[in-house]
Homo-oligomer: A and B are copies of this chain.
Amino acid sequence: MFNYRLQIIVFFILISFNVYGQDDSDVHVIQQIHDEALLHGDAYQLLSELTSSCPGRIGGSENYRKAATFMKGALSKISGVKSSLQPCQANYWKRGDVENVYMTGKDEKLEPLDCTALGNSGSTPQEGIFAEIIEVHDLDTLEKLGVEGISGKIVFFNRPMDPTKTRTFSAYGGAVDQRVYGPARASKYGASAALVRSMTLRSDDNPHTGVTVFPDSIQPIPAIALSTNASDKLSKALKSGSVSAFVQFAAENLGLQESPTVIGEIKGSEHPEEIILVGGHLDSWDISPGAHDDGAGCVQSVEVLRILKAIGYKPKRTLRCVLFSNEENGLAGGKKYAEVSSAAHEFHLAAIESDAGGFSPRGFSMDADTSVFTRYYGRVNQWASLLEPYDLYFFKGGTGSDISPLKNQNGLLIGLRPDSQRYFDFHHTKIDTIDAVNPRELSLGAAAMASMVYLIDKYGL
């Protein structure tokens, strides 16, 4: 009886083996992918060119369109890849030349604070504004203070990211409401400006920009990020008495501007109707070279197609590299792409986004509609032993903003999950440069993505 049972078990093991993988050739191909990435990788060189020739490529800007042309060119150099630009209109908010915040406390000296305006910030009158500062740590406090406590004042949002979150994206998620919604909420109660502590876990002098949202019904006010050191200095001054600030800032809103998404495609040989997407977003904040955010994800996605081509892999399914527009300030690229795709009745079997920096990959996070998630997750987990030798693991959780509108196609959404400790040191700042990227870490991320594409393409989901 025991032997009989054993035979049944072996039979089922073999069945699942054949259908969903893996076999010995997978070990070999995944090694080939990594060898190609580490021996002949092109990602770092491409990122170096992108960040030096098109820094500050915010959606709608000239630098963005230059970057789109450049990356389309990079894709078209890979034999067999058909590259194109998908038209997309993005709202173009343009920073002016003047950015000043000076605080003044009981000693009446004006002290400059390291700052940079948030995207969509309103402007001050040319001569600036001068008002008293109140510090708050959460949005609900605004309701309590009301118009009486806020009107005419400058609201200073100063809740730090929680350093005890070992995965830093959780810390970011727990603090970023202040930046995204704080200024508009303050405006509602008549604040004259908003200052927001930079979203980073470092104590330093680098201000971090990022999106703030003013709904149509709310008057945009000047909304300015302070470096963490400047925030601490201001908070300390506030503890010993009333502090005011002089704020001066100018921006223009130039409305909708062309800001295309870049696409490179290899048609599948057996199931061309099933698409496997790899992507990142091509736009970066205007003050930043955008190396980790998200030049890294873009060059890795291009590299995935280059690697698979270089090792001679012939995909059964359609592989598509998509470099999205306007992730930072409206997600126009991701929304438009999903809209066009669904109108054409396309099906994305899987979409893999890299938008968490070019650091050492630690695995993949996954998301899908609840009706299919368990099935997909179970299947992907059968490949765990193929990826563990590369220190890659699977997690449940958020994936990527740009691919999120594809969720209703009922495919699997996947996020490359790199080590997150250093990401917010650089995020949305001028120091997000190529020097902050390690070539091997970047290449290993591309190899990890290419390995997943290979497995999904070979076995389906």
Contacts and interface: CB of A to CB of B under 8 A. Distances in A.
Interface residues of A, number: 26
Contacts of A35: 164
Contacts of A137: none
Contacts of A38: 163-164, 166
B421 A360 contact: yes
A201 interface: yes
A458 interface: no
Interface in A400-440: 419, 421-422, 425, 438-440
A252 interface: no
A176 interface: no
A10 interface: no
Contacts of A168: 440
Interface in A40-91: none
Contact of A163 (B39, B360, B389, B441): B39
A20 interface: no
A202 to B, nearest CB: 8
A138 interface: no
A38 B202 CA distance: 12
A27 to B, nearest CB: 13
Given A167-B391, A360-B360, 10 more contacts: A34-B166, A39-B164, A163-B440, A201-B440, A360-B419, A362-B391, A391-B393, A419-B419, A421-B438, A425-B438
Interface of A: 34-35, 38-39, 163-164, 166-168, 201-202, 360, 362, 389-391, 393, 419, 421-422, 425, 438-441, 444
